[in-house]
Amino acid sequence: MRARNVVASAYIVVTAVLLLVCPENTVGQAPRSRGPLAIVVHGGAGTISRASMAAELEEQYRSKLTEALQAGYAILEKGGSSLNAVETAVAILEDSPLFNAGRGAVLTSEGQAELDASIMDGNTLKAGAVTVLRHVKNPIRLARLVMERSPHVMLAEEGAEQFAAANGIEMVDSSYFLTERRINELQRAKEREEKKKQRAAPDSGGGTVGCVALDCNGNLAAATSTGGKTNKYPGRIGDSPIIGAGNYADNHTCAISGTGDGEYFIRGVAAYDISALMLYGGMTLQEAADTVVMSKLKKLGGTGGVIGLDGKGNIAMPFNTEGMYRGFIDKDGRLEIQFYRD
């Protein structure tokens, strides 16, 4: 009996140590040391310059990106999963009218918001995506449920929204997405179109949001959410909900979230291409990300950028535009927000 009590006490001690080191380890598994933590966010790439950025607006962007980073990192610090971290961070950015996702989504040629999002688990390679949503407040939360509660990877339009309602996702009237800023942008785009007698030139896609994270178990995750392009055709789908194009995660290589000209990210399978260059080409994350963003995408004619994170906590954030809203908390706990090229 005494020996059994000793064994039981030892098990309790091991379990307590395990939970202290990394709470989401499965109880009963051998404890392991806590791995590095890191999280990176972006809020879109495009024409972002100091000359055109008012100090007050810059502070608003800085504050919201910092809030998203800190909320996601707090989850990681408590031993939470990278999936929970990226979902939380992206949902915060979706709720802000500053970004082209959720509340601040741009409008189609018919004056409606149509939202896309995806999320991917680098540990299992499971993924969930949603597209052409008109009433879902936080598309990234629905994408997570598609991954975990359905046999599918992607759901669209009415089917996706029926699934959302059945699973308790918050729904809103489509007027929720009609902000003055986006209505004015659509009007300007239509005026340009009328003057040119053709559809307005595609914008940079700036404003799409994304997050990648590494948790204490060494698991990577990626999440991306967008409203697409101003004055887009109704039903247009960009790269953000396409696994391998605007979003990808694999523990063996990296987690990637992209922003920019979605059609080119799709054609170049940009996010997966970065992973493949690492896996098959032996490149580092930075080398692979630079190759895709600064060379391959540019040769196709595409503009934009990505945020990337590997299993060692290394970060890459290349972009071929004037600027990209981006920020990180790295493996040393350092927080930094950046907007411009210099």
Catalytic annotation, residues: 208
Helices (H) and strands (E) in the chain, counts: 10, 12
> Using CA atoms, how far apart are residues 324 and 204, in angstroms rounded to an integer?
11
* Helix runs in 259-334, H state only: 262-267, 270-279, 285-290, 297-300
Side-chain half-sphere of 75: how many Cα atoms within 13 Å?
Answer: 19
Give the position of tokens 């790295």: 330
Residue 196 in tokens:
């040119």
DSSP per residue over 230-263, as a string? TTBPTT---STTSBTTTEEE-TTSEEEEEEE-HH
> Using CA atoms, how far apart are residues 311 and 314, in angstroms rounded to an integer?
7
* Interaxial angle between packed helices 55-77 and 82-94, expressed in degrees from 0 to 180 and rounded to the nearest 10: 160
CB atoms within 10 A of CB 93: 31
> Using CA atoms, how far apart are residues 100 and 25, in angstroms rounded to an integer?
36
- Residues 119 and 244 sit within 8 Å (Cβ to Cβ): no
- Residues 106 and 230 sit within 8 Å (Cβ to Cβ): yes
Element (H, E) at 16: helix 2-21
DSSP per residue over 81-123, as a string? -HHHHHHHHHHHHHT-TTSSSGGG---BTTS---EEEEEEETT
- State which amino acid sits at residue 210: G
User: Minimal CA–CA distance to 186: which of 238, 109, 104?
Assistant: 109
- State which amino acid sits at residue 77: E
